[in-house]
Structure 1
Amino acid sequence: MILVKDKDIVVPGEVLAENDYYPGRGTFKENNKICSSHVGLVSIRNKQISVIPLVSKYIPKRGDVVIGEITDIRFSMWGLDINSPYSGFLPASEVFGKEKRGLENIFNIGDVLLLKVVDVDEVKKVKLGLKGRGLGKFKGGVLVYITPSKVPRLIGKRGSMINMIKEKTRCDIVVGQNGVVWVKGDPEMEKVARKVILMIDREAHTSGLTDRVRDTLIELIKNEKVKG
């Protein structure tokens, strides 16, 4: 017997189903009852029931493209905050090769970079690299932080959602898989883009979101033009 519907929001310990269903990710089984392990969104596929966390931390994986901020400069590497329980490091060898140069002459604390996750070892040390198209240091702009699991919703099918925001605000926008978003444009349009991105983060689980985002963009941009 199923006690919830697909896309319902549930809390830890809430009973989701009994008997004929199988527990998926984010659930546990107790006395033939399937319960939620955390606050999240119900996902029902055939007879399997799962719960997708509404708030989740970014867990780095090799090959991910992320946005990180330099927080530390050491003898042979930069330390970076990548919006994760695990900090990242960029070895000097990824930038200089075998050449020896002062690290602070290239990147400094507070610099924001687009990087690739090169490796994650058994103790979750995250090695980062800059070898790849478009990777490197950002100039200017603002950062917006969203829940990493909401990144696909922000991007949309074939980039439809993020492209709509770019077109309406005329901002350059880069989305990291770690839930960090870089936005650069006219300062007023940066504010509009930020508001809409955070709206998507809050309402990613709801239906009709694309239309609401479009209407909100039009309204916010109209208000900014009136102010100007």
Structure 2
Amino acid sequence: MGPQPARVVAPGDSVYQLPEKGEVRVGSGIHQDGQHLITCRPGLLSTTQSGKVWVAGRQKRYIPQVGDCVLGRIADKHSENYGVDINTPFPASLPVLAFEGATRRSRPNLQVGDLVYARVTAADRDVDPELVCTDASGKAAGFGAMTGGQAFRCTTSFAAKLLSQPTPAILTALGRALQFELAVGLNGHIWVHSPKPTTTIIVTNTLPKGEFLSDAQAEMVVKRIVSTMQ
């Protein structure tokens, strides 16, 4: 199952029939009924290239799922792990060795308030979420401390939309006109960085508007903003 256009779904919708071959990773808001995947909450149906499918709702609190990419701030610092605020009722646990190349003698020295991009490796209602700052192969792959730039909040549904395919028009238009780095957390946090501070501010102020704009409107908004810069 490859990426599909994001669409609004209601509880009880049959969204996919499981293929005979390939892997499908079922995320939050979906349960399996025989060979079919059924939604169990309203929201935005989202998929990824790797075969993950989930329903992103507008819940106030983020519900972590294994494999989610999240942005969080260091809330506590201990000898063996960090406590990370990822917008869940309790902080997630990030081991000090959960970084590429980290050892007892050589490991990141993060401070309270630092921003990290991490991957959820354990999520259960009875235990605190667990994070790592590597991909499945143990490589950094963009995970770790996020320095500089600016972070801001968005809805979890919009975060999921930004990570789904096809890429939303607002992000495509901004990327075509400006140079910047972007990290999106499914917990409703976004980080933007650009060598030009004005670009960081423009993306930070413009990107959230894309949640409520049509593709044509998004293109017009970005074109108007870019024209004022010239």
- Name the TM-score, length of structure 2 as normaliser: 0.65
Equivalent in the alignment of 2:190: 181
**Residue 143 of structure 2 corresponds to which residue in structure 1?**
135
Tell me by how many angstroms 1:101 deviates.
4.5
Quote the Cα distance in structure 2 between the aligned partners of 1:96 and 1:154.
26
**Which structure dedicates a bigger proportion of its chain to helix?**
1
Secondary structure (helix, strand or coil) at the match of 2:98 reads: helix
For residue 208 of structure 2, what is the aligned residue in structure 1?
Answer: 198
The correspondence for 1:158, drawn from 166, 173, 193, is 166
Measure how far apart 1:75 and its partner are. Answer: 2.5
Identity %: 21
Structure 1 pair 95–175 and aligned structure 2 pair: CA distance change class (3 A): closer
**Counterpart among 91, 94, 100 of residue 95 in structure 2:** 91
Aligned AA for 1:220? Answer: I
CA contact 1:166–1:172 (8 Å) conserved in 2: no
Gaps of 5+ in 2: 1-7, 13-38, 44-56, 136-140
Which protein has the larger Cα radius of gyration, Structure 1 or Structure 2? 1
Which secondary structure state, in structure 1, belongs to the residue aligned with residue 166 of structure 2? helix
List runs of 5+ in structure 1 lacking aligned partners: 1-6, 8-22, 26-47
Q: Which has the higher contact order (CA 8 A, sep 6+)?
A: 2
CA–CA distance in 1 between the matches of 2:87 and 2:217? 28
Contact 2:58 2:156 (8 Å CA) reproduced:
no
Deviation at 1:98, TM superposition (A): 8.9
- How many Å apart are 1:49 and its aligned residue? 10
Matched residue type, 2:210: I
Query: Deviation at 1:199?
Result: 1.0
Match of 2:180, as an amino acid? C
Is the partner of 1:114 in helix, strand or coil? Answer: strand
* 179-188 or 145-154: bigger deviation: 145-154
8 Å contact kept, 2:100–2:133:
no
1:94 counterpart SS class: coil
Cα offsets for 1:180-210 (capped at 9, x unmatched): 1110112111122112222124x1xxxx612
The TM-score with structure 1 as length reference comes to 0.66
Partners of 2:159 and 2:88 in 1: how far apart?
14
Q: After TM superposition, what 4+ stretches of structure 1 lie above 6 angstroms from structure 2? A: none
**1:145 equivalent among 153, 165, 168:** 153
Counterparts of residues 47-62 of structure 1 (less than 5 Å): 51-52=42-43, 53-62=57-66
